[in-house]
Every structure is written in C-alpha cells, then in structure tokens.
Amino acid sequence: MQNETVLKVYGRNQICASCVGAPSSWDTFEWLQAAIDRKYDTSKMNYEYIDMDKPQENEQEARFIEQMEEEDWLYPLVTLNGSIIAEGIPHIKKIYKAVDALEIDKKSS
C-alpha cells in the first residue's frame, strides 16, 4: 500500500440534472467516507470534498473542474488517487473494488 490514499468527491450544492432524486454531493461524500471507514483501515486515507462552485486555489483542480464541465461529466464525481472511479450516483461495490485494488487492509469483523 502506498503512503497516502486520497479519495476526492467533486460536487455542487445543486443536484445534478441527471441525478434527480439522488442524495446531494455532500451527502454522497459523507456516505462514502462512512462506508469505507467501516470496512477498511483508513488510517492512511484522506478524504476531500471539492465544491465545484467555489474558486479553486489549486490550478490543477480548477482545470479538472473545467474539463468536467466541458465534457458534461456527471457529479458527484469520485476519484481515488487521481483516477475517476465513479460519476453521478456511485455504486459502493465499484468503490470497494477500487479500494481493494490498492491493497488497503480490511478491518477484522
């Protein structure tokens, strides 16, 4: 396992037009964090929520958000160490599969 794992959720206060009826981006962020924390040793995992409507100090984040908008990607958009692992309504099994691929230890039952 690498030293630090970063899961980012890019989202907005407004629900994505294609995701009507889905939880908000922030609710999705909190849900993913709780679900992953229950299953894995997340002592070396960091979670970040990126509000797409706020000015970004990090130029790389700003460019990524521009790309999301230009290509009409759905949000919330979830990345794990920079790789996109979910777009729109995330499916937890797909998220777990991406975390498993990083060989992060699971908590003992």
**What CATH number should be reported for the domain holding residue 70?**
3.40.30.30
Structural domain contains residue 106: no
Contact 9, 23 (CB under 8 A): no
Structural domain contains residue 77: yes
Q: Is 25 helix (H, G, I), strand (E, B) or coil?
A: helix
The confidence score (pLDDT) of residue 18 equals: 67
Structural domain contains residue 14: yes
Mean pLDDT throughout 70-96? 93
Contact 88, 12 (CB under 8 A): no
The confidence score (pLDDT) of residue 26 equals: 94
Structural domain contains residue 107: no
The confidence score (pLDDT) of residue 89 equals: 86
Structural domain contains residue 47: yes
The confidence score (pLDDT) of residue 16 equals: 67
Structural domain contains residue 91: yes
Structural domain contains residue 109: no
Q: How far apart are CA 19 and CA 49, in angstroms?
A: 18
Domain count, the chain: 1
* Residues 6-62 pLDDT 10s: 999 999 987 766 667 778 899 999 999 999 999 999 999 999 999 999 999 999 999
Structural domain contains residue 54: yes
Please state whether the predicted TM-score (pTM) of the whole model is above 0.75: yes
Residues spanned by the domain of 63: 5-101
> First and final CA of the chain: distance in angstroms?
21
